[in-house]
Structure 1
Amino acid sequence: MPPPFCKGLHSVMMLPRLRDPYFNYRYRHQLHVLRVTVAISLTYTLLLIFNFPHAVWALLSALVVMNNLPYVGGVLDKGGQRLLGTLLGALWGILITLIPGTPHLVVAGWALLGIALATGITFTTRYVYSGLMFCVSLLVVVGDGQQDLSIALWRFFNVMLGTSVGIAVTALLLPQKATDVLRFLLAENLDTLARLYHTHTSASTSADIDTKQLVGEIGSRLIKQQGLMDSIERERRLRHEELEQILSLQWRMLSTVELLLNTLWNTRAGYERIKSLKGFRDQQHHLARALGTLAFQVRTGQNIDITVEPFDLQRHADAITSANTEEGRMLFSPGGYLWLNRELYRLSLELISQLGGIRRLPSRRLRRRAKRHKLIASQPVEYHNKSKGFDP
């Protein structure tokens, strides 16, 4: 059994790993629970020490701002909107209630005007939550016209305290970046697309893979990526246009692969004509490997450096245009099949170009940690087995 000081040394050496992006992604749900628990505990401790009146508002604010938002960008956005709306709503309420000799109906009229303005201004913007908090804070201050102003001010203070604690804990305690989550989800999708495409081109492996399940997993991860858009924008590491383009290309690649997977040949002649095209299968396998390599480079923070062999339809034009059935009728299906493969190549090339143009995609931090997770030595080459890449 190792002596106590060895255990302590081991714990100290483990601390840097807690900021490991792979660790944070793999255990993101557990870490979110930890952050929420720490934020509530810290807020409660401050309230016990200073004994602030109406303290429950601080606890509620910390919980509301963090509960369903595990990402730094999301909490910064929601917390910032809550702070802004609370501050402006409270100030408006204080101003209209401090006017000496103002009848209650006049105060109510000014309050309604403020609510109408806030609702109208924020209705078509991303600051709807700020508008809501403005209205709530205004009503808390104004009340029914008989409320003690000090109560409203203490509530305002506690809301600001709880929200600030929630933001600080999310940003400082093992922060989870939505951009990192997008990176890993994108890499998983690229790996899965590569496996599906390789499966399609290798009949001997198709029985071992549930293609419908894998297609469903890609779609599910794309929906998760769409849900990250606001948080990613707040982190300011990707522009909105870049994010939309990445998502659009993944959807289109998924649709193309689905069409290829569901390709049915009406005649044996069409299948035989495709099978006889010289070098065509090699091109398909090369594209599958390129997608897997792209997934590897995205996941591990490498520079995007991939060369994809082009699908030259003109090279096979004569073989396709001269394809006929036994009755002499022209076959159109081989041409459509070739076009689908060329379209997948084109979309892949566009995605490679898009990702290669993102300045902050390569990451030295990820490359360092990838070595510890043995990802650098396990770059996938073939896709008849599950990828050896990062599997959360």
Structure 2
Amino acid sequence: MARFRLRDPFFNYRYRHYLHTLRATLALAVTFAIVLSCDIPHSTWAPVSTLMVMGNLPHVGGVIDKGSQRLLGTLLGGLWGIMILLIPAPPPGAVLTLTLAGIAIALHTTFTGRFGYSALMFGITLLMVIGNGNHDLSVALWRAFNVLIGTLVGIIATMTILPQKATDLFRFLLADNLDKLARLYHAHTSAPRLEASDQGELMKTVTSQLVQQRNLIDAVHREGRLRRGELGSLISLERRMISTVELLLETHWATRDGHDIIESLTGLRDAQHRLAHDLGTLAYQVRTGQSIEINIAQFDLDTHAEAAFNARSQQGRALFSPGGYLWLNRELARQTSALVGYLSNLQRLPSQRLRKRARRHHLVSDTHRLAVKGDPHARSTSSETHSD
């Protein structure tokens, strides 16, 4: 039986919601222990900050991004509030005016850049420090101090207690989407085919997971392995592949006559099954942290050009669906090849940590296990496409 590892990325991904609940609960317990044992005044703000930072973000990059923005906003808002409180004998209404001016600037900033959360925290901290404007500087300082304690506890807990990396989450979502696209693409060329409801459910899941990947861009960038531009290009290619598969599913069944012509094209099904297998292999390599080494065969349209573009219905009408269907297959192969090329050029995408853990979860075959021992970048010889 494989030895349990606390930093196992596959285990942490599979149970990420449960682990995040445990992590956040422990972080809150630590925060309460700190403020109660030290008898810190105005300590309510500390656990509130811990909970706000961790929230529903189970991964390191997201909490670092949110926590650093909260720290920045807290420091700037606290400094602004302290400066206002230190004004000697302020004229009537000056404190309120300067407070509202700072908040107005912060609110405007939330719409103009990616530091919107920092700007929001600036305004919240400023209101905490100013309070009712009674010029009690000690209250302002203690409130800001509690926010800093709670934020730091949240960041440290996320990084040390069964950490879940946003990079791993992005990788597994990408691999799972490639697996599902392979299944959809293969199923509509085989018998029995997927039911329309199952097909629609798979497409819904793929689209939802694409949105999740887009929301992870800043968090993954914070972890320093992949940059925002690289992630954006990956998501753009993936989105086009999803659209192409969806169009393929619809075009295939445009008319019965067109479908019969498509079925009669010699070699087409073999080429489609090969591409579906390559998609599954690509998902396997992404998931297990291997170097991306796979050749995608391009569709040869010339072989079927005459049959497709001279297609006629029984009534003699020209049929456009066979030609469109062939073109979409070629586009999917081209897009998959482009994705393979892009992934293979990402120097920091392969992961020795994932390759080691994949063997413990039987995601890598015995043959590949021996190859990995001799060469950490060895190509997979397995055609398995296990999901997480």
TM-score by length of 2: 0.89
Q: Gapped runs of 5+ residues in structure 2? A: 367-379
- Give a deviation string over 1:119-174, Cα, whole Å, max 9, x none: 33443111122112212222222233324221111111111111111111111111
Query: Who is 2:154 aligned against?
Result: 166
1:345 aligns with 2:333: yes
Contact 2:31 2:46 in 1 (8 A): yes
Q: Could you say what secondary structure the match of 1:201 adopts?
A: coil
Contact 2:85 2:135 in 1 (8 A): no
- Counterparts of 1:365-376 in structure 2, within 5 Å, are 365-376=353-364
Let me know the Cα RMSD of the aligned residues.
2.4
Residue 209 of structure 1: CA displacement? 8.8
Query: Who is 1:390 aligned against?
Result: 387
Residue 35 of structure 1: CA displacement? 0.9
CA gap of 1:390–1:328, structure 2 versus 1, over 3 A, is closer
- Counterparts of 1:274-285 in structure 2, within 5 Å, are 274-285=262-273
- What count of residue pairs does the alignment treat as equivalent? 374
| CA–CA separation in structure 2 for the residues paired with 1:142 and 1:309 | 66
1:318 aligns with 2:306: yes
1:130 aligns with 2:118: yes
Query: Who is 2:245 aligned against?
Result: 257
1:109 aligns with 2:97: yes
Letter in 2 for 1:334: P
CA gap of 1:277–1:55, structure 2 versus 1, over 3 A, is same
1:156 aligns with 2:156: no
Single out whichever of 356-365 and 326-335 deviates more from structure 2.
Answer: 326-335
Residue 106 of structure 1: CA displacement? 2.2
CA gap of 1:218–1:122, structure 2 versus 1, over 3 A, is closer
Query: Who is 2:346 aligned against?
Result: 358
CA gap of 1:174–1:61, structure 2 versus 1, over 3 A, is same
Letter in 1 for 2:386: G
Query: Who is 2:171 aligned against?
Result: 183
Query: Who is 1:219 aligned against?
Result: 207
Query: Who is 2:376 aligned against?
Result: none
Residue 265 of structure 1: CA displacement? 4.9
- Counterparts of 1:23-42 in structure 2, within 5 Å, are 23-42=11-30
- Counterparts of 1:238-253 in structure 2, within 5 Å, are 238-253=226-241
| CA–CA separation in structure 1 for the residues paired with 2:279 and 2:313 | 35
Q: Could you say what secondary structure the match of 1:175 adopts?
A: coil
Query: Who is 1:266 aligned against?
Result: 255
Query: Who is 2:56 aligned against?
Result: 68
CA gap of 1:124–1:116, structure 2 versus 1, over 3 A, is same
Tell me the percent identity.
Answer: 55
Query: Who is 1:6 aligned against?
Result: none
CA gap of 1:169–1:273, structure 2 versus 1, over 3 A, is same
TM-score by length of 1: 0.88
CA gap of 1:281–1:155, structure 2 versus 1, over 3 A, is same
| CA–CA separation in structure 1 for the residues paired with 2:164 and 2:93 | 48
Contact 1:97 1:142 in 2 (8 A): yes
Letter in 2 for 1:75: V
Residue 274 of structure 1: CA displacement? 2.7
Contact 2:284 2:385 in 1 (8 A): no
